[in-house]
């Protein structure tokens, strides 16, 4: 082998090494760029969904916080309303208790007044003969007996008369045929009329088909019993057995009343 040949061979060898190095450098650089591109694509694929997830998470947290504050505000309003209702209820209870107390005092006062009236009513005077300060159309004085009990006086006319004449006689003496207020008064009077009958101011209204006191004065007597009985007459008399009806033209004694 000659020197020229060796030199050429050497040169070629060097050229071949340089080429190989360049090729290797290019391959290495290409591999790095490819790896960088791969890493960049992979990172983007992770970052984008992660950003979307974080955004959704922030929106969810914001909605939850807003909802919690709204519920808290509503609960505070409900609590305030309950406090207000409780205060109003307590005020109403206090007012009712005060009204009940006042009513209780009023009832006690009325009970006292009622007891007083009952005691006054039970204070009856003895029956006494009397000549009333009035006269009949014939000029004869009206004679009878009278007695009082409580705030009411009773005048028993001696002569027997029809119902209408008894009513007129009482009016002439500034009285009226007796009007019985209640069952207590009726039970008080019945024993005083043994075997006697006295016209009273109760008459049947044919138009209304019911019994009424003269002058339509109200009474606490149960007059429905009178309506249910078989009616003989349209006028009522009082006896020891109670109130009964009779023909108004029949004659009985008269009883006048006055407060």
Q: Distance of CA 99 to CAs 83, 91, 102, 104, 113, Å? A: 24, 12, 5, 8, 21
DSSP 199: E
DSSP string spanning 46-67? HHHHHHHHHHHHHHHHHHHHHH
Residue 6: its pLDDT value, please?
A: 45
Arithmetic mean of pLDDT over the chain: 76
189-243 tens-digit pLDDT: 888 877 789 999 988 887 877 888 887 766 677 776 666 666 678 899 998 888 8
Q: Is the pLDDT of residue 38 over 60?
A: no
- CA dist 88 and 93 (Å) reads 9
Residue 138: its pLDDT value, please?
A: 54
Residue 146: its pLDDT value, please?
A: 82
Structure tokens at 205: 């209204």
Q: Which CATH class is domain 128-258?
A: alpha beta
Greater confidence (175 vs 143) lies with 175
Three-state SS for 161? strand
Domain boundaries, the chain: 1-122, 128-258
Give the residue-averaged pLDDT of 69-90: 87
Note the pTM of the prediction, 2 decimals: 0.50
Residue 133, phi then psi, degrees to nearest 5: -80, 55
Residue 174: its pLDDT value, please?
A: 84
Residue 250: its pLDDT value, please?
A: 93
Greater confidence (23 vs 247) lies with 247
- CA dist 204 and 108 (Å) reads 40
Give the residue-averaged pLDDT of 109-118: 74
Q: Scan for tokens 């006690």, then name that residue.
A: 108
Q: What percent of the chain has a predicted confidence (pLDDT) above 70?
A: 68
DSSP 19: H
Structure tokens at 221: 């007597």
Q: Scan for tokens 């339509």, then name that residue.
A: 216
């Amino acid at each position: 082998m000659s020197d020229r040949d060796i030199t050429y061979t050497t040169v070629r060898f060097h050229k071949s090494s340089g080429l190989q190095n360049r090729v290797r450098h290019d391959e290495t650089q290409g591999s790095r760029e490819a790896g960088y591109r791969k890493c960049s694509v992979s990172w983007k694929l992770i970052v984008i969904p992660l950003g979307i997830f974080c955004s959704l998470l922030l929106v969810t947290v914001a909605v939850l916080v807003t909802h919690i504050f709204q519920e808290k505000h509503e609960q505070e309003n409900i609590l305030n309303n309950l406090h207000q209702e409780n205060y109003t209820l307590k005020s109403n209870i206090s007012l009712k208790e005060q009204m009940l107390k006042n009513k209780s005092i009023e009832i006690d006062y009325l009970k006292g007044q009622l007891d007083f009236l009952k005691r006054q009513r039970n204070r009856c005077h003895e029956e006494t003969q009397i000549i009333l300060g009035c006269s009949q159309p014939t000029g004869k004085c009206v004679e009878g007996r009278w007695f009082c009990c409580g705030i009411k006086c009773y005048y028993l006319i001696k002569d027997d008369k029809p119902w209408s004449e008894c009513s007129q006689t009482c009016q002439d003496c500034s009285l009226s045929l007796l009007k019985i207020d209640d069952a207590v008064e009726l039970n008080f009077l019945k024993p005083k009329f043994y075997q006697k009958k006295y016209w009273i101011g109760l008459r049947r209204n044919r138009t209304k088909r019911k019994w009424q006191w003269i002058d339509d004065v109200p009474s606490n007597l149960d007059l429905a019993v009178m309506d249910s009985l078989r009616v003989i007459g349209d006028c009522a008399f009082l006896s020891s057995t109670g109130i009964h009806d009779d023909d108004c033209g029949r004659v009985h004694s008269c009883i006048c009343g006055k407060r």
